Structure 1
Amino acid sequence: MVIKVTSNVFNEGEHIPDRYACRGVNISPPLEWDDVDGTVKYAIICEDPDAPSGTWTHWVIFNLPSETTHLSEWIMEREEIDNGSKQGFNDFGTIGYRGPCPPDGTHRYYFKVYALDKEIELPARISKSELLKAMKSHIIDEGHLMGRYTR
């Protein structure tokens, strides 16, 4: 099974609106995903595999409660958000979401959702690699939504 991830502001493979990128307000887009039986927590990683220096991380958020199957736009750039989930560092060196801002051309941005069978026992401010290491062997299911952006 693969988690179906959607947004009401762009579809798979479509252009991500400027509002969610460096040319706009630069806030996180709204996301929805399938409920996965047996999930204890969810995690989301947003990344750009087309960055010149290699895959660039735009967002790390984890320990989303199991009953959470959507996020509204504009998740604040805080270590912990209202539902108790935590945010890690992006590759810009900040906490929370930083949207698309490719130096040239069109890049792909993957919003990856992971259903986990346990809570991640790490503090906020972790990196994508630390989260991936902690999630290893605890991923029940995963899915993604890919959008494109040209600056």
Structure 2
Amino acid sequence: MGLRYSASRARAASVTLTAVVLALATSSCGLLTGRSQANEIGQINVSSPDLREGKPLPREYSCKGDEGSPPLRWSGEPLPRAKSIAIVVDSHTDPEPAVQWVVYNIPPDWTELGPNATENLPDDNIGQAAATSGKVGYQPPCTNGTYRFSVYALSGKVEVQESASLPQILKMIADQTIARGRLSVVNIE
């Protein structure tokens, strides 16, 4: 009886989480819902020495590899006004949209994260949210689909309690976004 109850609760939680992620993914800001206080959202250029827009995700950054997160670089005019930077990696591919990684409170003067940043974040003030899987850190893509590496310049720091949920953190990022940019890749297994 207990096992059936646990399986039923896990299924219900999974369905609820999928519904929340799907609702967020279909909103006008992608996964981020909320209203930025900025009058106009600026543009950030996002690049990587290992990723190319619209091209396949290198195997070493998928669940078949062991490199962790790929290196990312960003630049843009609004960055001097930013108080922090956030990165969200997600898939909006049906039928299972998912968040693969959320890292926030990156110092505003940083313009890149090196490879496997999940394991090597050099600043204790940088936070990471639990991904859709429930695990904290970069969750390498395993399914076929398009994965978006989005960088957000924020008007403040993301101030959350340790128990904050993924939707709460994403809303806080959305509410403070003053600029954003994206690099999309395709995972093909």
Alignment of 1:118-137 (within 5 A): 118-123=156-161, 126-137=164-175
Look up the match of 2:109.
67
| Larger Rg, first or second structure (1 or 2) | 2
Aligned to 1:82: 122
Secondary structure of the corresponding residue to residue 60 of structure 2: helix
TM-aligned CA deviation for residue 135 of structure 1:
2.5
Kept in 1, the 8 Å contact 2:44–2:180? The answer is yes
SS at match of 1:96: coil
Q: Say whether the 8 Å CA contact 1:16–1:149 is kept in structure 2.
A: yes
Q: Which runs of 5 or more residues in structure 1 are unaligned?
A: none
Runs ≥4 residues deviating over 6 A: none
| Structure 2 residue runs without a partner (length 5+) | 1-41
**How far is 1:126 from its partner?**
4.2
Match of 1:107 among 131, 145, 148: 145
Q: Which has the higher strand share?
A: 1
Asked whether the equivalents of residues 108 and 147 of structure 1 are also in contact (C-alpha less than 8 Å), the reply is: yes
SS of aligned partner of 1:19:
helix
Higher helix share: 2
The amino acid of 1:67's aligned partner reads D
Letter in 2 for 1:38: R
Q: Which TM-score applies when normalising by structure 2?
A: 0.71
Contact in 1 for aligned 2:63/2:140 (Cα 8 Å): yes
RMSD: 1.8
- Equivalenced residues, count: 145
Contact 2:80 2:108 in 1 (8 A): no
Which whole-Å CA distance do the structure 2 matches of 1:126 and 1:29 have between them? Answer: 26
The percent of aligned pairs where both chains have the same amino acid is 30
Superimposed CA distance per residue, residues 11-57 of structure 1 (whole angstroms, 9 cap, x where no aligned partner)? 1111111110111115100000005120100001000111423x201
Between the aligned partners of 1:68 and 1:123, the Cα distance in structure 2 is 24
**1:110 alignment partner, SS class:** strand
Q: Aligned partner of 1:148: which letter?
A: V
TM-score with structure 1 setting the length: 0.88
Q: Secondary structure at the match of 2:152?
A: strand
CA pair 52-124 structure 1, distance change in 2 beyond 3 A: same
- 1:4 aligns with 45
Match of 1:43 among 86, 102, 127: 86
Q: CA deviation at 1:65?
A: 0.2
